[in-house]
Amino acid sequence: MSPVMTTQAPFSSAVDHDLYQIAPTRQTPTSVMMGTDHQLHRPPIAQQHFSGPDPLERQGHSGTGNLSTSPSNHQDPRDFNEIRQSSRAYTARSPLLPMLDEFDLDPLFPPQNGAANEPQIPNDDPHTAFHVEGDGQMFSQPQPDATIPSIVEDASHIFSQFDWGWEGLFASQAATPNFHSLFLPTEGLSSAPSLSTQSVATPTRSAENVARLGDNYADAAPWSHVSATWRAQHFVEQEYVENIKLAETTRERILATTQNFFRLTLDSLNVNSNPGTRFLMADLKRYSSSSILMLPPTPILHIYLETFLTSFEPYYPLINKRLFDPNAIASGKNEQLAIVMLLLVIAYGAMRDPAVKARRLSTGLLEICRLTTLHLLDKDNTNPRSMILAECALLSTYQAAFSGDKWLMESSFGQMHQYLMLSKHSRFFERDPTTPYVLSNETDVELLWHSWLEREYTSSLVMVDQEISILNDNNPTLTIPDLEKSLPDGDDLWLAHDASTWFQFWKTAYGPEAGTSTPFVPAKTSLPELFQSLLDDKLENWKPRLQILHLRLLLYPIHIITAQMCELMLCVSEKEPLRFSQTACLPSSNVRFEEIKTLLQTWWSVFRGLEENTTRQTAQRQVTEILYHLLNLKLAVSWSHVEQFSRAYIRQPRPTQGLPAIALRRPREAVFHCGQIMRILHNMDVEIRPLWWPAALYRVAIILWTLSMSHTIERPERTDPDTVSDIAIDRCPPEAPIWQTFLRFYRGRPCLTADDGVLQPIDDATTVLRVCSDLLRQYKNMFCLAESLLGELEGLANS
């Protein structure tokens, strides 16, 4: 007899490998799909044995050999017919059946184990099988879900023609993001992101974020739980950006393009609407059966856009002319990138909404836009100089970095580095031409205005890179010589609604000599030149023209040299002798340390003199001040040591190894800057806080907890409680006189303010965690990042 090929039925838990015979000519899925003459034959029923000895005991038997089995192992042919009919009815509902007209699916649905004469016991649990004991009694035993991946793996050769990516689908994580696993222990110290380095099923997580978008199709929950009135109540007319309502034609265009992106993304991630994924899933509710993407109603989309204009646009100027018109954006030249930008704006608004459907929409759209942007970037390498692509990269990277989703957060680091390097090599940050423009008529003013607007976009990329690197303890991507682009101008120029208004503001800002009949020279000052003025202690000379945005950008080169100095100090040991003179390394590092502190003090003295007149400028000032205090914290403590100490404490509440001396360089200054960050957050309305504020509060909590655990903060010299004054570090402004006595002589007891207004000393580690956790708990439903970091603090408190 000719040799036979054996195959295993993918939907049977115990099947003899010797029983399914195929004709001598080998049958392949390709031949089935091409309609060839090869036929898949089902063996006679008499030769089928579905409960027999262990397959290892039957090695050596041929497909036609006689197997000795007990009578209970034979199945009645009538039962076979019933099971075959049931399997056919089940597969008839699959959309794949028209493609398999000539493919006999009966071998794929064999009957389950059991004797023909055994009673049928109803069982509603699909994961429970019935077994027979020696005395003939039946018992049920739950089957572990782990058997499903192996079944699919064995069956993958049958459906290989469709390339469905079984292993990726069935190795998926839970449908709900595990926010509490974001900040897990890492081994070793480095400047790596403050995230877990444990391996993640990259395509699986990405596929899950996109696939769960279909769940909104069947979910009747509301799309939003927020109102859109805060900006109208707090923004004045000269800073208020009008939000044009979305037209129905624009909404249909966005929906059609998004549906196309959705299907392409599902295909690229091997998450197709195939029959296999629907009934092979261990959890049938993990993915929706719908591959249709739904967008919220137009009024809900308007709320999402309003949220974007409230809490994103004031910090990263992307909307000029005080007008946000999604209809005009969607009808732009590059339609695909325009739709991607609008989807990212919608995703940002949904990310700050506590509604379940809004969060699901945000994560899915963000993943789709991230992959689409990378695809368009690879498709056309001239796009790095495109302004709209720069906006898409900024929006997607910023949202992913502070989304609270582990996979998106980790992917944002590489994405930001990739785009900035492409932009650098595309000369995106080069100095602007200094050739004067001769303005003779209004047409020249209009052209000059649009040219000026394009130049202003560059600074936003630098600011996003700075915030991501500071809050994740990374080095900035760019270097100081890379930043040759001219500094941006003020908000009055940026928000001018037409060319003539813009030019009037420019003449007011830069002098009456800028008449329309005289040459106009664009601003020549770049960020390296401004930084050089800071090094030369000449920053006061620029004060009449300095804006809050300029000093915020000036923190970027300060961050670069601070990161370099901190890395050097990690390499210098204070205990072991050096191979070369101590005077050549450790003292020089201390001198460099003091120089950077001096630069920051100079920066602060100039920054305090700037005035803010609008809500927009006040928000920019508060965020810039938080970044300033975070940079000072980087000097005062070694975040990598502090974070590793907290993670080690979770694993072992009484760690045997303490903190090195370099971990807490300036404990009193650390207390001061931590208190100032909390004070600023208390003074900011939650509607306008930046997306990363939970990460800043988390860093404050871990540093104060470490200081209390290590007993680094010295006790006051006076032990009489009546003579010791309490310092509310999260309420006292930086100019309060009590700070000078605390920093110089340590007179006073630092405390945090609880929700009831009672001052709690920070020398109690439990109190520190409780106060910071309460602040995060109030807004955990509005920020996924707050929810994840709250779990970290609660885990540390319960250790």
Nearby residues of 517 by Cβ (< 8 Å), 6 or more positions away: 439, 440
Pick the residue with more confidence: 82 or 687? 687
For the stretch 401-404, contacts whose Cβ atoms lie closer than 8 Å and that sit 24 or more positions apart, written own/partner, are 401/468, 401/472, 401/692, 402/471, 402/691, 402/692, 402/695, 402/785, 403/351, 403/362, 403/363, 403/366, 403/784, 403/785, 404/177, 404/179, 404/182, 404/783, 404/784, 404/785, 404/786, 404/787, 404/788
Place of tokens 């309305």: 685
Strand segments (E) across 80-170? 128-132, 138-142
For position 98, what pLDDT does the model report? 44
Strand segments (E) across 56-166? 128-132, 138-142
Specify whether the CB–CB gap between 90 and 84 falls below 8 A: no
pLDDT confidence tier of residue 59, bands split at 50, 70 and 90: very low
Specify whether the CB–CB gap between 647 and 641 falls below 8 A: no
Pick the residue with more confidence: 527 or 130? 527
Q: What is the mean pLDDT of residues 664-674?
A: 94
603's tokens: 């920066």
Output the average pLDDT for the chain. 73
Q: What is the DSSP letter of 37?
A: S
For position 35, what pLDDT does the model report? 42
Specify whether the CB–CB gap between 487 and 530 falls below 8 A: yes
Distance, CA of 8 to CA of 634 (rounded, Å): 60
Q: What is the mean pLDDT of residues 188-217?
A: 56
Q: What is the mean pLDDT of residues 734-751?
A: 90
For position 272, what pLDDT does the model report? 58
Between vectors from CA 494 to CA 491 and to CA 497, what angle results, nearest 5°? 120
Domain ranges, ordered by start, for the chain: 1-116, 144-156+163-428, 611-797
For 357-398, the pLDDT digits (tens) are 999 899 999 999 998 988 887 776 655 567 888 889 889 999
Closest CA to 270 of 176, 187, 152, 358: 152
Closest CA to 655 of 182, 199, 663: 663
Distance, CA of 372 to CA of 595 (rounded, Å): 45
Q: How many residues does the chain have?
A: 799
Q: Specify the range with the lowest mean pLDDT, choosing from 86-100, 325-339, 532-546.
A: 86-100
- Amino acid occupying residue 687: E
For position 396, what pLDDT does the model report? 93
Handedness of CA 654, 655, 658, 662 (dihedral sign): negative
For residue 378, the number of C-alpha atoms closer than 13 Å in the C-beta half-sphere is: 6
For 236-294, the pLDDT digits (tens) are 998 999 999 999 999 999 999 999 998 888 888 776 544 334 333 344 344 444 567 88
Q: Is the pLDDT of residue 311 over 90?
A: yes
For position 590, what pLDDT does the model report? 81
Q: Specify the range with the lowest mean pLDDT, choosing from 176-180, 346-350, 618-622, 654-658.
A: 176-180
For position 168, what pLDDT does the model report? 34
Q: Is the pLDDT of residue 190 over 70?
A: no
For 433-487, the pLDDT digits (tens) are 655 555 556 667 888 888 888 778 777 888 999 999 999 998 999 999 888 888 8
Nearby residues of 571 by Cβ (< 8 Å), 6 or more positions away: none
Instruction: Name residue 242's beta-bridge partners.
Output: 323
For 65-123, the pLDDT digits (tens) are 443 444 444 445 455 455 445 444 444 444 444 444 444 444 444 444 444 444 444 44
pLDDT confidence tier of residue 44, bands split at 50, 70 and 90: very low
138's tokens: 């039946």
pLDDT confidence tier of residue 349, bands split at 50, 70 and 90: very high
Instruction: Name residue 492's beta-bridge partners.
Output: none
For residue 14, the number of C-alpha atoms closer than 13 Å in the C-beta half-sphere is: 16
Q: Is the pLDDT of residue 184 over 50?
A: no
Q: What is the mean pLDDT of residues 220-236?
A: 87
Closest CA to 550 of 459, 461, 424: 459
Q: Is the pLDDT of residue 516 over 50?
A: no
For residue 566, the number of C-alpha atoms closer than 13 Å in the C-beta half-sphere is: 28
For 633-666, the pLDDT digits (tens) are 999 999 999 999 998 888 887 765 678 778 888 9
